[in-house]
Amino acid sequence: MGGEIDIVGHLHNDNVSVVFATLNDVLFIAHLGRPLGDEELDPSLFSRGVVGGGLDTEVVAGIVPLPSQGWMGLPGLEVSRWGERLQLNLQYVTVKELSDSLKFILADHLEAITVTVTARLHHSGVVVFSTQVSNEDTEAVSINSVHTCLPIGGHANEILTLGGRHAMEAVQQRTTWGRTKQILENRSGRTSHEQLGVVFAGTPGFTEQTGEVWGVHVAWSGNFRIMCDGISETLKTIHAGELLLPNEVILDDDPDFNTPDVVVSYSSQGLTKASQQFHHYLRSFRTSSPKPVVLNTWEAVYFNHDLDTLKNLATVAARVGIERFVLDDGWFHGRRNDTAGLGDWWVDDSVWPNGLEPLISHVTSLGMDFGLWFEPEMVNPNSDLYRLRPEWVLDGMRDDALLGRHQLVLDMSQEDVREYLFEKIDALLRTYKISFVKWDHNRPLVAGATHHQTHGFYELLSSLKFAHPSVQFESCASGGGRIDMGVAQWAERFWASDSIDALDRLEIQKGLTTFIPPDMLGSHIGSPTCHTTGRKHALSFRAATALFGWLGVEWNLLNLTEREEQQLAHVIDFYKQHRSLIHRGDFIRVDHSDSTIDIRGVMSANQEHGVFSVSRLRSGPSNHSAPLRLPVNVASAYTVSLVHLGSPRWALHRQLPDWVNQKEFTVSGAVLANIGLPMPALLPESSFILEVGPVISS
């Protein structure tokens, strides 16, 4: 009826345990969740027995589950040789223990395929899985699919996913996870607006602060598949990996295929904690430095580049406290609108007769650094590059090639293409003092394979980063179309969305912060009337929304009234004073019973300081919403103050709660966390900021 279970590895810390075991030489995760400490585990407790109506042997969800081993769900590995699908039977060979990771070797000796699965428990709390498939035969092998199988267990019954559209990305969607299979699939060639590569499964009704949550992310900027399976073997499993097309990857001269990392964050204290572990993981990619306040020229001038106007803009920018001036689209050869120029990466001398130097020296003389926009992987048919090299374009030689924003996509798998782009971008980075590159990608790829395209992109970006280590890169794809932990190896900022509508941004950033730290999310204060939605918002609301991100401004500052300029300078000053707390502290989305109220903020690691925004999204059902409970240390006492980034927009009232009128007051952590502050009535689409700090005894 079956063999015995052996435990072959256990990664654990205070928050999570991952137990690896074998049954009949099939490697599987026996437990992924609550921490078990150092306890000696009885392997027999992981045996589920054999039930009627099925196979005569116990079936486990292998970490690379295979049909030959009784698995009837999505196979973990599908390969073919000579066009024939191989019936693989990968057997556990050995495990190597490294300081924070385990490396498991599996092999099918008959078919000469070896698989190495590495599981690393990172100090942030996340577990990172990666898989290498090696072809040991001289005959080539085609890799059709590789998915890591993560058994979540029977307790999870809800799934939270993120998706949407251009200018309204990362909207949260919850579904019940019953006896269903749910697939999150992306075939757009970039991470996409429609479906982000992350899923959170959790226990019934999990909230920001309660419930068990498993977050799974594929760290990859191309096509991917995540399948949540509640049917096969009635054991809930999540299968995650790159989505490959037939014959997209063939192992011949290069015998190895490496999957993107699958990053898993488990929390027994709700979604926020799972997010914080993801945040700490991403923050560990580089040493933290203050993130300069950005002014981006796009919504200020669009394609109307004029040296004097841009210099004046820079002068006002410096006056309000901006630290980085980013020249967006429109500066290069032939780029007067979005129908031409992409590919011709040299400065347009009809608009910039003396190059970019006059602008850059003005910007740097004002104490700001300078950033420049590129869209390297794209080409307009109306460009010198396309006229010269049509064969460099994916589908470009076809008469029926589909255009997106009047552009085609360069084939990044070609070395010549990468060399051309490197040479052009490198020359600009060498000629000018450029500290920041906004790297855009404004159209999806269609119907194509994207494995080599994505690796080509990574190769170009990494070689530029290597050649210019101090230059910071922003990943943008018409806003939030390329947000993932794959590109985060080189990009320190994401442009979260082309919509800077503060109300929509609250939702977009709420979704994105489930796995990306706020300090990586480009978050701009836009014009009083949002360009993408036409909605009007007060500066206090726009500022409170943008504060919990990497702050920027995207507004024609030449049109500001004196009062607006003063207010904006005040907001930027407040941000600068608090940015190390906002960017390094623990970001918290706070539960509140009224869904029209949004509370989010940051607490320092020692729980002494915090900043929170409280926003009313729309009119709520009651004038007296539940109190504001803040997640502070119940054993401490705090001073609390209300911060006005512009005038507060209180709803009709005769008297506000007393605390609102006090400049600063002292309250115990127990009261703040357990009872909370009476919620003042706010108008819809408005916010206020609360600051908490330690009580200094005199």
DSSP 8-class letter at 588: E
Between 169 and 328, name the residue whose CB sits nearer to ligand GLA: 328
- Closest to 292 (Cα-Cα) out of 418, 435, 490: 435
Out of 442, 475, 499, 686, name the contact with ligand GLA by CB under 6 A.
Answer: 442
Residue 111: strand, helix, or coil: coil
State in angstroms the smallest separation of the CB of 424 from ligand GLA. Answer: 18
Residue 9 touching ligand GLA (CB under 6 A): no
CA distance 385 to 341: 9
Out of 329, 344, 507, 586, name the contact with ligand GLA by CB under 6 A.
Answer: 329
Between 20 and 298, name the residue whose CB sits nearer to ligand GLA: 298
CA distance 23 to 48: 11
Between 472 and 478, name the residue whose CB sits nearer to ligand GLA: 478
Residue 479 touching ligand GLA (CB under 6 A): yes
State in angstroms the smallest separation of the CB of 493 from ligand GLA. Answer: 12
Residue 325 touching ligand GLA (CB under 6 A): no
CA distance 559 to 561: 7
State in angstroms the smallest separation of the CB of 473 from ligand GLA. Answer: 14
Between 298 and 432, name the residue whose CB sits nearer to ligand GLA: 298
CB 494 within 8 A of CB 483: yes
Between 159 and 170, name the residue whose CB sits nearer to ligand GLA: 170
State the Cα torsion 573-579-581-582 to the nearest 10°: 110
Q: Mark the segment that binds ligand GLA (CB under 6 A) among 139-147, 258-266, 475-483, 535-543.
A: 475-483
Between 115 and 408, name the residue whose CB sits nearer to ligand GLA: 408
State in angstroms the smallest separation of the CB of 344 from ligand GLA. Answer: 15
Residue 498 touching ligand GLA (CB under 6 A): yes
State in angstroms the smallest separation of the CB of 477 from ligand GLA. Answer: 7
CA distance 342 to 377: 9
CA distance 368 to 325: 7
- Closest to 295 (Cα-Cα) out of 531, 488, 527: 527
**Could you identify the residue written with the tokens 């559209």?**
165
- DSSP-H helix ranges across 585-694: 669-674
Q: Mark the segment that binds ligand GLA (CB under 6 A) among 230-238, 268-276, 476-484, 671-679.
A: 476-484
State in angstroms the smallest separation of the CB of 166 from ligand GLA. Answer: 8
Residue 297 touching ligand GLA (CB under 6 A): no
Residue 440 touching ligand GLA (CB under 6 A): yes
Q: Mark the segment that binds ligand GLA (CB under 6 A) among 18-26, 363-371, 472-480, 567-575.
A: 472-480
Strand partners, 650: 682
CA distance 483 to 191: 6
CA distance 31 to 45: 11
Among 344, 440, 484, 519, the one annotated catalytic: 440
Q: 126: which residues sit within 8 A by CB, 6+ positions away?
A: 263, 264, 265, 277, 278, 280, 281
Out of 476, 502, 512, 530, name the contact with ligand GLA by CB under 6 A.
Answer: 476
Helix axes 539-547, 562-584, angle to 10 degrees: 20
Residue 348 touching ligand GLA (CB under 6 A): no
Closest residue by beta carbon to ligand GLA = 329
Q: Mark the segment that binds ligand GLA (CB under 6 A) among 126-134, 214-222, 474-482, 589-597.
A: 474-482
State in angstroms the smallest separation of the CB of 683 from ligand GLA. Answer: 30
Residue 495 touching ligand GLA (CB under 6 A): yes
State in angstroms the smallest separation of the CB of 581 from ligand GLA. Answer: 28
Between 150 and 546, name the residue whose CB sits nearer to ligand GLA: 546
Between 440 and 685, name the residue whose CB sits nearer to ligand GLA: 440
Phi, psi of 224 (to 5 degrees): -145, 165
Residue 328 touching ligand GLA (CB under 6 A): yes
Is residue 254 flagged as an active site residue?
Answer: no
Q: In the numeric block, which tokens belong to residue 223?
A: 């096509």
Long-range contacts of 65-74 (CB under 8 A, 24+ apart): 65/28, 65/149, 65/237, 66/90, 69/24, 69/26, 71/232, 71/233, 72/232, 72/233, 73/181, 73/229, 73/231, 73/232, 73/233, 73/237, 73/239, 74/145, 74/147, 74/149, 74/227, 74/229, 74/232, 74/239
Strand partners, 163: 171, 195
- 346-380 exposure pattern, b = at least 16 Cβ within 10 A, e = fewer: ebbeebbeebbeebbebbbebebbbbbbbbbbbbb
Residue 332 touching ligand GLA (CB under 6 A): no
CA distance 44 to 21: 11
Between 248 and 474, name the residue whose CB sits nearer to ligand GLA: 474
Site for ligand GLA in 353-412 (CB under 6 A): 373
Between 495 and 638, name the residue whose CB sits nearer to ligand GLA: 495
Q: In the numeric block, which tokens belong to residue 343?
A: 């590919």
State in angstroms the smallest separation of the CB of 600 from ligand GLA. Answer: 24
State in angstroms the smallest separation of the CB of 253 from ligand GLA. Answer: 38
Residue 478 touching ligand GLA (CB under 6 A): yes
Is residue 137 flagged as an active site residue?
Answer: no
Between 114 and 442, name the residue whose CB sits nearer to ligand GLA: 442
Site for ligand GLA in 161-190 (CB under 6 A): none
Cα 79–85–90 angle (5° rounding)? 55
Out of 92, 129, 281, 298, name the contact with ligand GLA by CB under 6 A.
Answer: 298
Among 498, 501, 519, 586, the one annotated catalytic: 498
Say how many residues touch ligand GLA, by CB under 6 A.
11
Which stretches of the chain bind ligand GLA, using CB under 6 A? 298, 328-329, 373, 440, 442, 476, 478-479, 495, 498
Positions annotated as catalytic residues are: 440, 498
